[in-house]
Structure 1
Amino acid sequence: MAEAIAFDIAVRLITKLSSIALSQIGQLWNFKDDLDDLKRTIARIQAVLLDAEERSVTSNVVKVWLHELKDALYDAEDLLDDVQTEALRKDLMSGNKLTKEVRVFFSSSNQFAYGLKMGGKIKARFAFIQGQISELKLVERDLPVETPFTAKRRRQTHSFVGKEEIIGRDGDKAALLKLLLEKEFQSEENVIIVPIVGIGGLGKTALAQFVYNHERVKDHFGLRMWVCVSDVFDVKTIVANIIKSVTHQAPNQNLEMDQLQTQLRDKIDGKKYLLVLDDIWNEEGEQWFSLKKLLMGGTRGSRIIVTTRSHRVAKVTSKCQPYVLEGLSDDDAWSLFKQIAFEQRYADSTNPFFLEIGTQILERCGSLSHKDYS
């Protein structure tokens, strides 16, 4: 539907605007002000999208407004991509830090995206679209957590990974296997929770996928389950997804929480299981403890892997020390970069021009190639 599409684009666009403002413009506050203005405008428009969706069913005027918004969001996203690409290209070619060329996003001198007037046109289009909110009497609403578009904000993960996708990490693989398979674990609880913590892009999910599919792990645990949690930590949804991971069939949507928890405990109680809860963001202990109580029926030796970017999540979910994932070594980072970036593989990776650009890009990706956290 138009509203769902527009919401997803708006979320991506606000994220990109935040990213540019924080990491690319430095001291160029005039440019930052323009970006912040656009971000606030889009956020205001985003707040009325649910009302617009409902009213578009009976109002052609609102339906047209939604289509105009969707087109404007697409154009703005394309323009931001061009700004980022061109700024990076100029920076790499010149060897200098970003200078005033990024200011051209909203100026008439923008030569590289959609012609001379696109930046100004996009500002004007969003100002017009926002101005129509009052005329159409659109009402701001909070999006309910159950809406399908909120769940799309972050990627959905799965349990499979090809061995060729994991570069380096031999020490991490061995350490995690030991945590999963070690019999003498100092804990009174049958089910041990092992948090993997690290910033985005370090490979937490890939590492969890590797150990999940390891032959020793398959032999050790009678039951293995994988659930991607992501944005919305809803206990009922997570329980239903755990059941689905066991039975390969979604439970009846009309079941109440009490019926679901009975099904869950019937599947896992008395079994030595491995459960991966991937990409947890919720830092509220109350919700976690509500879920944890339902998972403690496994036999001694059961494990739950939690992957998260947050040290607070790790502290809330487990009494154990979290496994903090560090950056790749320089050699492994370069191997990974070549695998992803060079289409011609060997030919590209020996081209001096590509080598120079690749080296500069890796230097900017400090979290990938260096053990550096903030």
Structure 2
Amino acid sequence: IRVIASALSFKETENEWLSFKDNELAKISQTEGKILPILKLSYDHLPSHLKHCFSFCRLYPKDYAIDVQELVQFWIAQGFVKQSDSKQSFEKIGFEYFKELAEKCFFQEVKGDLTEKITCKMHDLMHDLAKLVAGTESSIVDSNLSTNEDGEKCRHISITASLIPSFKGKKLRTLLYFSNMGPQNLSDEIWDLIIANCRCLRVLGLDYLNLKTIPRSIFKLKHLRYLDLSRNNFKILPKSICRLQNLQSLKLDLCLELEELPKKIEKLVNLTHIGCGGCFSLTHMPRGIGKLTSLETLSMFVVDKDGSHGSADLSQLSALNNLRGELTITNLGFVKNSKEMFRAANLKEKKHLRSLVLVWDDDYDDDDDDDKLLEDLQPHPNLKELRIDGWRGDAKFPSWLSLLTNLVNIEIWGPSKFKYLPSFAKLPCLQQLDIFSLTELEYMDDNGPNGRQGNTEPFFPLL
């Protein structure tokens, strides 16, 4: 009923409703168990771009928690998202596509919002519908299917752990591996052979495969737009990856042994997303990353501790004002000419950032911390979350804190010289305040503004 209602909600006249009832609805069998034809009726009334977006979801296993941002990036990589207004980003348009499909009941259990990670699921019947309408263009490959046959016909495939290594897919545009399908024991060499047979790939997901080296055949995928190598075990990202000049999204999250990103990364002129959250072995950022002015995601910026790598300094962040989501800046205690460099990062112009994490490491020399003032790291007032970790400098909070009126969450991690907490009465949206190891903290400032009746406003209106 909800699916039919959602289809009718976009028909504005009584005649359109009657036509729907007398024609399309009348042709559908109402016998028990014949629900898919009814669901397909709603699909048939979708515009063509939404049909492509929905049928693509056949690649997900049933009951899978879908990362909506990732899904939108898949759609963009496949060319499903059309930009009619150059002022609107492809990702924003893609989220509108998702919202429209969710309103029509093609997705359910939507959790989160645009300020945090959004996930959703597909009802089993909707998954069956996606399988039906995708036909031979999409498939989940396991040992019960002939991979050669499917590979020749398919454009989009997700692979289970029992994949047959002789798989071929010359026309394949999507190749995904979902780690929740079970462990895999294929060697790096086998993956190299598989990818070598898929020269037309636009989306390649090799998440959590324990790869120690990156398959060299990847660097020949000239059409590749989305590459996920997260949670693997390689240390170096070869410079050959810079040949992938159509690449839009590069995911490296939780590659715990990764030490550096490639030099000449600025050659990836179409790159909009670099996911490197949790890459704790990264030693520096490559010089030239600041030229990627279309970047919307840069999970982490690592300051070079000793300056021995010819690396990027904080000024490389200056022009990256399209960044959104979360940005973590680490090793701030090692910044030279800190007053100049902190300001050069230009954090106050990054109006799309949701979360900012500022990290000083335990092993830095804090003798000159008075020169490394937090005052010079002022973010934009739109910020929702702020974390300050390990600051051991001046005991005063920065004056700009009271300007961040949209803050929802503040975390302050010691050791720190902070003697007091400022009044948070001017932060009306604050819901969470976490304080750890502030051993020198003595009091909270109670100089908040007074109301009309002379009563001091509460420190935490929404806490």
Where on the TM-score scale, by shorter chain, does this alignment land: which range?
Answer: under 0.3
**By percentage of residues, which structure has more helix?**
1
**By percentage of residues, which structure has more strand?**
2
Using the size of structure 1 for normalisation, the TM-score is 0.26
Larger RCO: Structure 1 or Structure 2 (Cα < 8 Å, ≥ 6 residues apart)? 1
User: Which of structures 1 and 2 has the bigger CA Rg?
Assistant: 2
